[in-house]
Amino acid sequence: MPTRRDFLITGGIGLGAVVVGKHAATASPSNRTAPVVISTWPHGIPANEAAWKVLDSGGYALDAVEAGVRVPEGDPEVMSVGYGGLPDEDGVVTLDSCIMDEKWRCGAVAFVRNFKHPVSIARKVMERTRHILLVGEGAEKFARMMGFQEENLLTEAARRRWLRWKANLSEKDNLLPAVEGNHDTIGMVALDTHYRLAGACTTSGLSNKLHGRVGDSPIIGAGLYVDGEVGGASATGVGEAVIRTAGSFLIVEKMREGMSPQEACEEAIRRVMKMNPENPHVAFIALDKEGNIGAATNYDKFQYALYRDGTNSLHTVTPIR
């Protein structure tokens, strides 16, 4: 019995939920479909739009996902990614991001301050170093060396939200970060017209997190995993639960064993629920190398954006309980 019900949202979310592209997708006789791009949350709609521009002109999936996730990274209205993201408990915006191509090449940065586009720094780590993950000061030094401009990422709106949280602290509070309302990492997986896969994941992480905390989003295998021979997956939600399950890697391995992207995402959510008795909010998206997609969650309001067959649409996922 299906545990997930998709429906097309036709309006009312203020993002232009359905956008029709110029061209229909290429469907080969074997029923493979490309290009396809899938991403998390309503801000996936404008992100998909940017990714589709690359894909629709025959471009590379890796360029598409980078261009795509840079949109919410640069948007101050999106308070969970990049510029305008909510800060940690010290009032500092710290960003985590990674990117991965179809040949297992990957790059990541974590705990990066004052740079708006960590995904592009992550790509430079992948392309210009022998390393995969750079953090904090080292990542920032590398970004400066690569010519990225520093800027203050804390917007007035985010600072006010942080001040309100700070003002409400009491000796009764513990240091668990508030989890409501800030699960909106963008994870994106794309398949280009040459059937090459790539993915990216980028976030400001949980709001009010402890200074120095890094979540799942920059961890290859947790927040993102891509295997060009199989498919790719990405995660959003409480990062600790995603890391514990190696969620994105788990999904790709389940697809390798023969599960559909949908079955694999549902399996990963069940694993999260089994391994984390407090049932933290998590959602996964997946795309296989044939262009089939999946999405699953254990919380009420998860939506993903899908650009396929020339249409960009937002889908709500029925949670697994």
Residues noted as catalytic: 185
Contact between 217 and ligand SD4 per CB under 6 A: yes
CB of 23 to ligand SD4, least distance (A): 31
Among 182, 208, 245, 292, binds ligand SD4 (CB under 6 A): 182
Interface with ligand SD4: number of residues (CB under 6 A) = 15
Contact between 216 and ligand SD4 per CB under 6 A: yes
Contact between 203 and ligand SD4 per CB under 6 A: yes
Among 85, 205, 228, 247, binds ligand SD4 (CB under 6 A): 205
Among 48, 80, 292, 313, binds ligand SD4 (CB under 6 A): 80
Contact between 155 and ligand SD4 per CB under 6 A: no
CB of 34 to ligand SD4, least distance (A): 27
Question: 3-state secondary structure string, the chain?
Answer: CCCCCCCECCCCCCCCCCEECCCCCEECCCCCEECEEEEECCCHHHHHHHHHHHHHCCCCHHHHHHHHHHHHHHCCCCCCCCCCCCCCCCCCCCEEEEEECCCCCEEEEEEECCCCCHHHHHHHHHHHCCCCEEEHHHHHHHHHHCCCCCCCCCCHHHHHHHHHHHHCCCCCCCCCCCCCCCCCCEEEEEECCCCCEEEEEEECCCCCCCCCCCCCCCCECCCEEEECCCEEEEEEECHHHHHHHCHHHHHHHHHHCCCCHHHHHHHHHHHHHHHCCCCCCEEEEEEECCCCEEEEECCCCCEEEEEECCEEEEEECCCCC
Among 68, 87, 228, 237, binds ligand SD4 (CB under 6 A): 237
Contact between 312 and ligand SD4 per CB under 6 A: no
- In the range 15-54, which residues lie near ligand SD4 by CB under 6 A? none
CB of 27 to ligand SD4, least distance (A): 32
CB of 97 to ligand SD4, least distance (A): 11
Contact between 184 and ligand SD4 per CB under 6 A: yes
Binding site for ligand SD4 (CB under 6 A): 80, 182-185, 203, 205-206, 215-217, 236-239
